[in-house]
Structure 1
Amino acid sequence: MATGLLMLAMFTVCYTLLAKTLSNGILTAPILFIGFGYVMAQTGLMPFAEAEHLLHIVAELALIILLFLDAAQINLRALRERHQWPLRMLLVGLPLAVVIGTAAAAPFMTSYPLIVAALAAALLAPTDAALGQAVVTNEAVPERVRRALTLESGLNDGLALPVILLFASLTAEVMHQDATNWLVFGAKQLIFGPLVGGIMGLVGGYLFLAAKRRKMTSVTIEGIGAIAMAGAAYLAAGLLDGNGFISAFVAGLCFGNIIKGQCAFIYEFTENEGQMLAWGAFFLIGLALLPGAIAHLDTGMLAIILTSLFVVRPLAVWLSLSGTDAAPVTKLFFGWFGPRGLATALFALLVVDQIDHDIGEYLLNLAVNAVWISAVLHGVTAVPFARWYGARMSDDEDAAEMAAVPPMRPEGAAKH
């Protein structure tokens, strides 16, 4: 175990030394860390049992903190008033992705009830900006497009989670596993989670502002309070049988819209320590889950994943942006860059032990295979597609400007 951890530490050091160079190529951090985890699994230097236990700890911690911090960076008023594209993709595109995804997955899951196909579609709906980092940080891509992708990926995992929990409870009901208890449990999760999170976020935000005004805290220490608040929202919801992850997300949303950017730590953590948490989770997925998932990857599962990536998401986004000022090429760009990442794998981990074992294992393998396939496909296409799209949009803007300029009179033409 110690040797494996040493190799992971050295691998991370090497990656950080080459990060800027690698960011201009096809080898993204998720690809490298998932791949390194898979290689380590083949060596046997890190036992599977210990890796799975560690994965659950790191996964829950990463999900709590990143849900809170992603939500805290969203300005709800600005989103409602000025960001039509991400709002449409969240409120229209996300439900459409679940509906279309259910219809697409059902023919390949005939041995399971339809609700299981719906749960699979919900698990494959959230997107992850970390897998599209080469796109959202590429200045060749127009800022409005990059901002829309960042806003969408920051919110859609929190919005998808209640749907996933609801479908998981309905799956348990269909499979006759204490249906009444499951429905009561699911209702508590969906009611008390947001309620506790909202209260914690609002109270915490006002207390934070009061302490800032009275100079009772400092920039170097306020970040600890933000992380503690995310943990408190998670734990408090759990005491009332609410869902802690939904609570952390709602707490971040309320906290961020109260403090309105007055906590620089929120943004700094996401760029630094948050990256490290995400890399660790990707590594552990590759180590603990990827070998088993690849072993169970069959034609039907591959068809569901590729349909989700190439048909379901693009179609849902295209329909959701109908009637907006998004150009056709922009709709296609949004549709493709919806990579599946940590949320898909970690949400599957949440429900795997709470539903029928065979269904849970199938969905977990589906989610993990979707993550690594997405990491490869989106990682390979991120830089070249972003450059092509940026050049295309620049050419279109130049052409529009030229069309708007009146033609010059030929030299010597008569003036009227």
Structure 2
Amino acid sequence: MTAYMLVLAGFGALVLLTAWLPMVLRQMPLSLPICCVGIGAVLSAFPEILGAMPRPQEHLLVVEKATELVVIISLMGAGLKLDRVFGWRCWIVTWRLLGIAMPLTILILTVLGSALLGLGTATALLLAAALAPTDPVLASDVQVGPPGEGREDEMRFALTSEAGLNDGLAFPFVHLALAMSAASVGLPELGQWFAVAVLWKLVVGIGLGGVIGWALGWLTFHLPNRAKLSRTGDGFVALGITCLTYGVVEMAHGYGFVAVFVAAVALRATKRGHDYHHKLHSFAEELERLLMMVLLVGFGAALVGGGLLQALSWESVAFALIALFVVRPVSGWLALLATDQPASERAVISFFGIRGVGTIYYLAYALGHATFEQPDLLWSTASLTIMISILLHGITVTPVLRYLDVRSGRDTESAQLGLPLPS
């Protein structure tokens, strides 16, 4: 009973911190993820907790499902808060990041993993695919504001829409790594991979996700006035839409991550200016923040007491630093060449490629479905990259965005913070 009460009290404290910490940190160059990881690291120092600390590598299914839930809720929230109408020209920066920056990042990281870490091609590709997508869960500080509030400059829009789509678009490369780990891959296998893992799953994810989002939007906003479902005002409907969309699309063998984001965008488009979108987004954001905090506290504890960094080497450290400071920034910069973006905003978009929960999901998923060499090295390298990303991006995001907002004359929450500007 004592242990149960301790867990209950700890969970209550965590819920309160989830609500209060963002308010405390608003005017500080810190982020909620940094505090979560720090709390977990401190907790793991207690002998009672350290002795009961499980190794994430030995509970792949639990890790996969927990991270999967957080990611899809985050994708729903990201899609709901985008005010911009979906289109080719007005989303061109997003398409460049998805079509150029992400494949280029995967290619370079695969070569780097093979040359620097000594991994085979399949394992290096898995690590690259897991680290390539920017994370929708940890990127809230660089994303657009709530629906209809007008805080949607090109910089924040690009980072939000990229994070919403590239988690699903990394999946074909994870499937390719799985296929390569099982057998040698020739032209027939590559053709099958392209037909199924790229074309079919993406078409199903985009198409079915859009249909479900539009249909649920029509039911919510366009039924006869007396039966308008939006009058319920229940924010937890967002959770129902998320789970329904993800489950249906996965059963149809499509990419559920892509489908959830597309469904959210389609739902928003059915009646873009309705106040109910605020309710849906607020619930998704609050639930995401709570689950994210639980996961990151666990991540911090696993870093210290769960052996996540036990296989770390100097090569792993070099890989993580090159991935964050060279590969993503250079790939993003090249993708945004010849756009109308100011150089400073192109630099911010390229630099803030945050790694996080999505990376953990992909590693747990792949390692639970096939055998790869040196799995402990994969966990250690990916965990170090995530930890550096959380610290680096968490410390720099508030002052950097405030500086750009003030300089550009944008009346945003960031620009109104009482922080000293860089000289």
Q: Return the TM-score normalized by structure 2.
A: 0.77
Q: For 1:248-327, what aligned pairs fall within 5 Å after superposition?
A: 248-260=260-272, 262=274, 263-264=276-277, 265-288=279-302, 291-327=306-342
Q: Which of residues 89, 93, 110 is equivalent to 2:97?
A: 89
Q: Secondary structure at the match of 1:48?
A: coil
* Ranges in structure 1 where 5+ consecutive residues have no aligned partner: 395-416
Match of residue 26 from structure 1: 29
Task: Map 1:364-383; keep pairs closer than 5 Å.
Answer: 364-383=379-398
1:266 counterpart letter in structure 2? L
In structure 2, the CA distance between the partners of 1:38 and 1:80, relative to structure 1 (3 Å rule), is same
Per-residue displacement from partner, 1:246-290 (whole Å, max 9, x unpaired)? 443443344344443544233212432222122222222223466
CA distance in structure 2 between the partners assigned to 1:154 and 1:189 by the alignment: 17
Moved more, 292-301 or 148-157: 148-157
- Answer yes or no: is 1:162 the counterpart of 2:172: yes
TM-aligned CA deviation for residue 375 of structure 1 = 0.5
Q: Which residue of 1 aligns with 2:38?
A: 35
Q: Does 1:235 align with 2:247?
A: yes
Shift in Å, 1:304: 1.6
Task: Give the equivalent residue in structure 1 for 2:223.
Answer: 211
Q: Does the Cα contact within 8 Å between 1:124 and 1:344 map onto a contact in 2?
A: yes
1:171 equivalent to 2:181? Answer yes
Distance 1:256 1:143 in 2: 18
Greater Rg over alpha carbons, structure = 1
Q: In the alignment, which of 385, 391, 402 is matched to residue 400 of structure 2?
A: 385
Distance 1:88 1:195, change over 3 A: closer
Deviation at 1:137, TM superposition (A): 7.3
Q: Deviations over 1:188-223 (max 9, x none)?
A: 765655554344334333333333755332444554
Given that 1:131 and 1:378 are in contact with CA atoms closer than 8 Å, whether structure 2 keeps it comes out as no
Farther off after superposition, 329-338 or 382-391: 382-391
Shift of 1:22: 1.8
Contact 2:238/2:283, CA 8 A, preserved across alignment: no
Matched, 1:59 2:67: yes
CA RMSD of aligned residues (A): 3.6
Query: Residues 18 and 289 of structure 2 are in contact (CA less than 8 Å); yes or no, is this contact kept in structure 1?
Result: no
Q: CA deviation at 1:83?
A: 4.2
When structure 1 is superposed on structure 2, of 311-320 and 54-63 the one drifting more is: 54-63
Matched, 1:100 2:112: no
2:49 paired residue number: 45
SS of the residue corresponding to residue 88 of structure 2 reads helix
Task: Show CA shifts across 1:127-173 (max 9, x none).
Answer: 235545445579xx993323332232233223323333333333333
Residues 50 and 306 of structure 1: CA distance in aligned 2, closer, same or farther (over 3 Å) = closer
Structure 2 portions without partners, runs of 5+: 146-150, 410-423
TM-score by length of 1: 0.79
Contact 1:79-1:87 within 8 A present in 2 as well:
no
Q: Is the 8 A contact 1:161 1:246 kept in 2?
A: no
Flag the structure with higher helix content. 1
State the alpha-carbon separation in 1 of the partners of residues 217 and 183 from structure 2.
39
Kindly indicate whether the alpha-carbon contact (under 8 Å) linking 2:21 and 2:32 is maintained by their aligned counterparts in 1: no
Counterpart amino acid of 1:338?
A: G
